[in-house]
Amino acid sequence: MMLTARGGEYDELQGLQGGADDYIAKPFSTPVLLARMESVLRRSGLEKVETIELGGIVLTPEQQKVEVDRKPLELTRREFALLHFFMSHAGILLSRSKLLEQVWGYDFEGDERTVDTHVKNLRVKLGEKSVYLHTVYRMGYKFEVVP
């Protein structure tokens, strides 16, 4: 999606042919922008997920809420984002650098080992359910519910 001050037909054509899903020139209204963003997300298949349920853990992204065996679990924002990313990518090996990029952001300038600290804290809070969070030696982590 491109937001730009260039509103000419040629500019819009160049943007769309260059790969943009949508092109919005200034001035634009916030409600229209939000509606177009929702439309792009629907088309891409990345719509908001109501809840994610795995192995007795229920995560509701829109409410920033987690329950373990129907009991609320208090997490920091970063722990919530980390658990959300793990559960959204269950069964997939995730490197520390991938987790930093996706959960902390591209501009994070700290040590990769900060992931280990947050995973350790998350495991403590998950209690018995921490068995779903596997360390893959020298590779990263994998969230996997094994029956």
- The two tokens of residue 66 are 């987690």
- The two tokens of residue 98 are 């991938």
Summarised one tens digit per residue, pLDDT across range 104-116 is 886 677 777 899 9
What domains appear along the chain, each with residue ranges and CATH number?
2-44 (3.40.50.2300), 52-143 (1.10.10.10)
pLDDT score, position 34: 82
pLDDT score, position 2: 81
Q: Average pLDDT, whole number, for the chain?
A: 87
Q: Does 102 or 44 have the greater pLDDT score?
A: 102
Summarised one tens digit per residue, pLDDT across range 59-69 is 998 889 999 99
Q: At 31, give phi and psi (nearest 5°).
A: -60, -40
Strands 65-68, 140-143: pairing is unpaired
The percentage of residues in the chain with a pLDDT greater than 90, rounded to a whole number, is 50
- Measured distance CA(138)–CA(123) in Å, rounded: 19
pLDDT score, position 57: 96
Backbone φ/ψ region at 11: left (φ over 0), alpha (ψ -120 to 50), beta = alpha
Please compute, for residue 74, the number of CA atoms within 13 A of its CA located in the half-sphere on the CB side: 0
